[in-house]
Amino acid sequence: MKIPNRSRRLAATLAGLAAVSVLAAGCAGSSDSEPASSGSSAALSGQVVWADYGGPTNESRQVSYFDSFIDETGVDVVSTSIEDSVYKSELKGEAGDYDVFQAGISDILPNLDNLATVPADAQGSLLPENVRPYYMGGFVFGIAQGWLTSTFPNGGPQNWADFFDTTKFPGKRAWPGDPGSYDSSYEIALLADGVKFDDLYPLDIPRAEKKLNTIRDSLVFYQSYPETQQLLTSGSAAIAVTVTGQFRALQNAGQDVTVQWNQAFAIPSGFVSPKSSKNPDAVAALAAWMNDPARQAVFTQRTGYGPVNPAVFDELPDDVKAQVVNAPDHTNLLSYGEEWRAENADLLLNSYTAWLAG
């Protein structure tokens, strides 16, 4: 990351503190989870129970955001492993233990009435407008194909049709094997079968499964994303389709990895706070803290996940930007039809579960 000079760093720190102070004043005295009107000087206190999927990404949030927030405000950010039963009940408006939890766009679209909004200056402008008011700690992850560069020294697959060409690009393919992590599987298969991106939705699931069956014997199914790293480095798979943070982790470990950004899926995500949160003032302050470009740049460099504040790209050196999914130079990225996916979440899960079972 490009290191700002001392005055710039101080300015960023003071701006962050000012945001927390304003939010503390503005939110105090609220009787629900929406940001309250200004005028109160009550200090932030207590804790924020933060639920995500743990691992190195949570550690990066701790370093990039939480440690400094705790030091400056006294609010303890308590990380816990997210449980489906808890966050899904909170999405539906029921009480629960989480003040903030991770959720995809298709999860939150049917449940916006049950979620608190975050202050306008804490919203990531690179997020879709329909979910921007509800997301904090936003980021953009990618679903792409990648391989050890030495596997295809003359160049690997250039698109999803090439991914299915096991003659031109031989070897096993690491592929999602957990029913709940169907990710872009159907979209990828349809694109490889010649469907135009603008015609993807509604997804033709039988056609997608027929296409997947053409390379089923070449697929190695993984149950968790980190497994893809071992499959590539051991030679058990020549190519992996996974979240791009796994490729970044291999690069951080010294591996020469090629990621094919052409036709990669760029997927905005983030964290939401239910209206039942026990500490909405601190949640609002943390949202502003996490939207700071210098802090997001630290998180981006550590994880490879894309920022939702465009000013972050000014903080990153070119070699880092090149490996960030929503970098300005990545011009042929694809996106989900989130509304259709939200309306058909059960269909996708049930279909992919049945297809995996054979």
Closest-CA residue to 284 (of 9, 85, 30, 12): 30
Are 216 and 95 found together in one domain? no
Mean pLDDT of 42-48: 89
**Listed residue (346, 328, 283, 251) closest to 65, CA to CA:** 283
Residues 149 and 258 in one domain: yes
Give the chain's mean pLDDT: 89
* Least confidently predicted of 21-25, 42-46, 335-339: 21-25
Total domains, the chain: 2
What average pLDDT does range 112-118 have in this prediction? 97
Confidence of residue 9 (pLDDT cuts 50, 70, 90): very low
pLDDT of residue 245: 87
- 230 pLDDT band (50/70/90 cuts)? very high
What the block records as the tokens of 92 is 């539906």
Distance CA 176, CA 241 (A): 8
Domain presence at residue 1 = no
Are residues 180 and 133 both part of a single domain? no
Q: Are 83 and 230 found together in one domain?
A: no
Q: What is the pLDDT of residues 179-202, one digit of tens each?
A: 988 999 999 999 999 999 999 999
Please check whether residues 245 and 290 belong to one and the same domain. Answer: no
For residues 157 and 185, membership in a common domain is answered with yes
With a pLDDT cut of 90, the percent of the chain lying above it is 82
Within-domain flag for 161: yes
According to the model, what pLDDT value does residue 55 have?
83
- Mark whether 277 and 244 lie in a shared domain: no
For residue 291, give the CATH number of its domain: 3.40.190.10
Same domain? 181 vs 131: no
| C-alpha to C-alpha distance for 46 and 281, rounded to whole angstroms | 10
Whether residue 282 sits in one domain with residue 223? no
Indicate whether 176 belongs to any domain: yes
Q: What is the dihedral of CA 220, 223, 225, 227, to 10 degrees?
A: -60
Structure tokens belonging to residue 276: 């039942």
Domain of residue 68 covers 6-140+269-321
Whole-number pLDDT of residue 157: 98
Both 168 and 254 in a single domain? Answer: yes
Inform me whether the pLDDT recorded for 164 exceeds 70: yes
Q: Are 148 and 259 in a shared domain?
A: yes
Q: Enter the tokens of residue 49.
A: 């129970």
What pLDDT is attached to residue 11? 33
* SS3 label, residue 74: coil
Handedness of CA 315, 316, 318, 322 (dihedral sign): negative
Whether the per-residue pLDDT at 228 is higher than 80: the answer is yes
- What is the rounded average pLDDT of the residues 166-172? 98
Query: Residue 19, Cα to own-chain centre: how many angstroms?
Result: 25
**Model pLDDT, residue 43:** 87
296 lies in the same domain as 222: no
